[in-house]
Structures are given as C-alpha cells and as structure tokens.
Chain A
Amino acid sequence: MSTPQSLSLTVNGTPVRHFVEPRLSLADFLRGDLGLTGTHLGCETGACGACIVNLDGQPVHACLMLAVQADGLRVDTVEGLSEAGTLADLQAAFHARNALQCGFCTPGILVVAHDCLGAWAASGTVPSREVIRDALSGNYCRCTGYEAIVDAIESVAKARAGRSDPQPGREAAI
C-alpha cells in the first residue's frame, strides 16, 4: 500500500542513498536510519523545536518533513555542524554560561541561534536580547528558564561583531 522510495541527499556533507517508506519523517530517518541521534523528538508536531536541523542552510523541523521531501537536498544536523566547527563559538559560550541542563532541546537551539546570528551578521549589528528571545520563540527549554541561553547567544553576537578576523584556534574548546 505504500511503495518505498529511493532517496538521495547530502547529510552533513556526505552523500546518502537509502530506500525509505514515504511515511518516514526526516527526523526518524536521521535518527533511525543514519544514527544521528543528536536530532531529538520532543513533540512530532513542530511545537518544541528539539528536532530542528538545517535544510539547505535554513532551520526546519525534521519532524515536519518527510524524508522523501529532502531528496536531492542538503541536511546538516548538530553532529555535522559540530564537526565542521560551525557552532564552535556558540558551543563554547553555552558551555561557559551553563546555558543547557538536560541538553535535550540544545541541538535545536544551537541551529536556531546559528541562523539568527548569521542573519544579524549581515547587518553588522548585534541583536538585542528581545530579538534573541524572539528567534527562540519556537524552542522549548524546560530546564534553564532561557536567560542563560540568551546570555550565551548575546555574548557570541558581541564577540563576532567585535572581531575583525575569525580565530578558529580559540574556538576549538569543544
């Protein structure tokens, strides 16, 4: 009654080819078929934000996409973004500020924070705390109360804005 489909996509820079049931969500594909368990399922209805990954560079809920919809596209998860060093300064700031507790929401928040900072980097200014809170409006965190997360993102925004050239060596804390 449902024909498995061929699926080719790039995940964390690596080409992947699988046969999947059409009903398989992108989140279940990443977690179950590829073992990328850093993408978390907290609601499966697009409310909590724990499953957010980058699709062609933009944050999307992996629970609100079928794996087959990602055919031919590029998906980057927290694992890939970590290994590429893309999130290094954010991760270091979250660590220093204890901007996570149980860590379940954290991968989605990092992806969203990275996107928010990228958008603001183009403007050459630092987002306000209200802007950061607004960017996080779709990410549940039940442990921190959010303030430490806002602090960490704000500190990275300021550091990035004040820096003339990237210093990747100093970001290798993770």
Chain B
Amino acid sequence: MKARAFDYRRVASVAEALDAYGACAGEARYLAGGQSLLPALNLRLDAPDLLIDIGRIEALRGIAIEGESLRIGALTRHAETLASPLIAAHAPILTQAAAYMAHPAIRNLGTMGGSLSLADPASELPACMRALGATLEITGPHGIRAVPADDFFQDLYETALVPGEMLTAVHVPLAASGSRMQFTEIARRRGDYAMVGLAANLVLAEGLVTSARLGFCSVGPTPMRAPATEAALTGRPLDGDAITAARAALGDDISPDDDDSLSAAARMHLARVLLGRVLATLGEGGAEAVAA
C-alpha cells in the first residue's frame, strides 16, 4: 500500500500556491494536514501529479474576532479548534464537534480547511458550518469570494470550489444572545464516523425559539439542513410537544439511502432519536455561548 509517485512543492504563500496549481500540466492537489489525502494516496484511490504543500502558510492560520464573526484560518488544526477559548466562547458547537473527530493524533494534523474542502457528509465540521450559518472564504486566481455554507456543499464530496481555488478561512457569526448549541453524534466506536450526527443551533427569546438551524451528518450526500424540522421548532417553546413535532417533521427533510453498513430505516430512526435527545438537552440549556 504505497502511493503512486508524484512531485511535491512546498509553498510559502497563497499566491505561490495558486501559481503552482495553475502551472501544473497534470493533476494537482493542495496538501494541508493530509489526514484524508494521505490515506487516499496510500490506497492509490487518488494519484495526482503534484502535491502543493500549503501546510506552512502563516496567513492561513489563526483564530480571531473580526467584526461580528469569528475568523478561523483554514490551517487551524482540529486540536486547536478543540482547545481554542475563542471558539469555545463564540461557537461552542465546534468545540463539541472537534472532540468527536477521530482521535488525538489525527486532530494534531487534520485541519478545518481540509475537512471542509473534502466535504465528507459523515464528518462533523461541514454539518456544523451549516448549523452555524458560516461563510466560507475562497481564494482563487481571480481573487477572494465568500460562499455561505448552505451553498458550499453541493453533492457527495462536491463543493463550490473550482479546480485551483483554495478554502482560506471560515467566518462564523458570533453566537447571538439566547443561543443554545449542541453537537452530538452516534457512532459505533469512539472516533468512528457518525452513523448520524447533529449540530443544532437554536436561539431562544422570551421562552420561544426564534431561530433554529440544524445540520445533520451522515444522512445524505452532503451535510443536511432540516428546514421543515427547523420550521416546526420556530416560534414556540422548546418543550415536549415541540420535540414531537420536530421528530415528525424530520421525515420531510431527510431520506437516507440503504448502505452496506446500515439500512435507511435504521439511520432514519437513529436520526429521530438523536434529534429528540439533542433538543431535550437544549431544552435544559445545552452549551450556551458566553456571548449570549
């Protein structure tokens, strides 16, 4: 199990990376943490001609408040996400999700940008970005563009990135007053891909849910929002009736397929159970953002 041969170039800036990509006659890939790319190379599932190592571009690092949002650099390691006080304060759902992401040694190299660019529907961060209403900052040969998370994830492993573009940062809105967040997933073993996972981001005011954003992982080809369920929750107290209504509405939002490891019926059932449990937790407070 050894990778096919390729060329390798380490770059010091985003501009240099984009140039290298543009100059490559064959297939090029950006290499960040490599925790998904390296297995694919070792298995020869992917065999590019050139790897452009962006792992040391300083501009892609850093977590900081910029205006009304938190800017998280694309090279932020999962371990940094897990440990960041800023993220814990303003987007605690990411702190919770990072703890579910694989295992400590993977989290030491795996990056925010890498995980989002891969867009594995079973992974945690894409679902969180949809629940958070994040904006993804994409840099390409023609400059920088901003894409809402809801538009970024297009199909199985397909994103709004066009060849040569790079995800350079995400901008997460600071948690609103009254927001309650929870990320939980159901997996066979600690660190396994989720059978179903849920990032829930609710805002409550005067006892009523004023905003609900739900991001599911492992229930479809992309991280999935649940608009009918969100609507069923909005404008009412987060009580048992609301949870029942939400569980019922979920059938309008997702319809998982059978796969080798789990039937559609089981996955749908687990999604409903998870939804109910997460909402019950949020009804009791959940992880409240300190900014609230």
**Do chains A and B directly touch (beta carbons under 8 Å) in the complex?**
yes
A residues lining the B interface (CB < 8 Å):
1-3, 5, 21-23, 25, 28, 44-46, 49, 52, 55, 58-61, 63-66, 68-69, 71, 112, 115-116, 134-135, 137-139
User: Which residues of chain B have C-beta atoms less than 8 A from A44's C-beta?
Assistant: 1, 39, 42
- Contact: B5 with A60, CB < 8 Å? no
User: With A45-B43, A52-B105 as given contacts, are A63 and B38 in contact (CB-CB < 8 Å)?
Assistant: yes
User: Once the chains are docked, how many angstroms separate the CA of A165 from the CA of B270?
Assistant: 51
Contact of B6 among A22, A49, A71, A139 (CB under 8 A): A22
- Contact: B105 with A60, CB < 8 Å? yes
Shortest C-beta distance, B195 to chain A (Å), equals 17
User: Once the chains are docked, how many angstroms separate the CA of A163 from the CA of B104?
Assistant: 27
Q: What are 12 residue pairs bridging A and B, where the CB atoms are less than 8 Å apart in the complex?
A: A2-B7, A23-B5, A44-B39, A46-B102, A49-B103, A64-B39, A65-B34, A65-B38, A66-B34, A69-B53, A137-B104, A138-B191
- Contact: B109 with A137, CB < 8 Å? no
In residues 1-56 of chain B, which contact A (Cβ within 8 Å)? 1-8, 10, 31, 34-35, 38-39, 41-43, 49, 51, 53, 55
User: Would you call B147 an interface residue if the criterion is a C-beta within 8 Å of the partner chain's C-beta atoms?
Assistant: no
User: Would you call B190 an interface residue if the criterion is a C-beta within 8 Å of the partner chain's C-beta atoms?
Assistant: yes
User: Which residues of chain A have C-beta atoms less than 8 A from B8's C-beta?
Assistant: 2, 5, 22, 66, 68
Shortest C-beta distance, A130 to chain B (Å), equals 10
User: Which residues of chain B have C-beta atoms less than 8 A from A59's C-beta?
Assistant: 104-105, 108
- Contact: B105 with A112, CB < 8 Å? yes
User: Once the chains are docked, how many angstroms separate the CA of A52 from the CA of B6?
Assistant: 24
In residues 228-282 of chain B, which contact A (Cβ within 8 Å)? none
User: Once the chains are docked, how many angstroms separate the CA of A158 from the CA of B93?
Assistant: 33
Shortest C-beta distance, B27 to chain A (Å), equals 12
User: Would you call B118 an interface residue if the criterion is a C-beta within 8 Å of the partner chain's C-beta atoms?
Assistant: no
User: Once the chains are docked, how many angstroms separate the CA of A60 from the CA of B49?
Assistant: 25
User: Which residues of chain A have C-beta atoms less than 8 A from B4's C-beta?
Assistant: 23
What 5 additional pairs, Cβ within 8 angstroms, besides A1-B7, A25-B2, A58-B79? A1-B49, A25-B3, A25-B38, A60-B109, A139-B103
User: Once the chains are docked, how many angstroms separate the CA of A93 from the CA of B50?
Assistant: 46
User: Once the chains are docked, how many angstroms separate the CA of A2 from the CA of B53?
Assistant: 15
User: Which residues of chain A have C-beta atoms less than 8 A from B65's C-beta?
Assistant: none
User: Which residues of chain B have C-beta atoms less than 8 A from A25's C-beta?
Assistant: 2-3, 38, 42
User: Which residues of chain B have C-beta atoms less than 8 A from A1's C-beta?
Assistant: 5, 7, 49
- Contact: B38 with A3, CB < 8 Å? no
Contact of A3 among B7, B108, B190 (CB under 8 A): B7
User: Would you call B106 an interface residue if the criterion is a C-beta within 8 Å of the partner chain's C-beta atoms?
Assistant: yes
Contact of A21 among B5, B102, B108 (CB under 8 A): B5
User: Once the chains are docked, how many angstroms separate the CA of A159 from the CA of B105?
Assistant: 25
Contact of B106 among A2, A61, A115, A135 (CB under 8 A): A61
User: Which residues of chain B have C-beta atoms less than 8 A from A69's C-beta?
Assistant: 31, 34, 53, 55
Contact of A64 among B7, B51, B109, B189 (CB under 8 A): B109
- Contact: A23 with B6, CB < 8 Å? yes
User: Once the chains are docked, how many angstroms separate the CA of A23 from the CA of B2?
Assistant: 8
- Contact: B103 with A138, CB < 8 Å? yes
User: Once the chains are docked, how many angstroms separate the CA of A60 from the CA of B35?
Assistant: 10
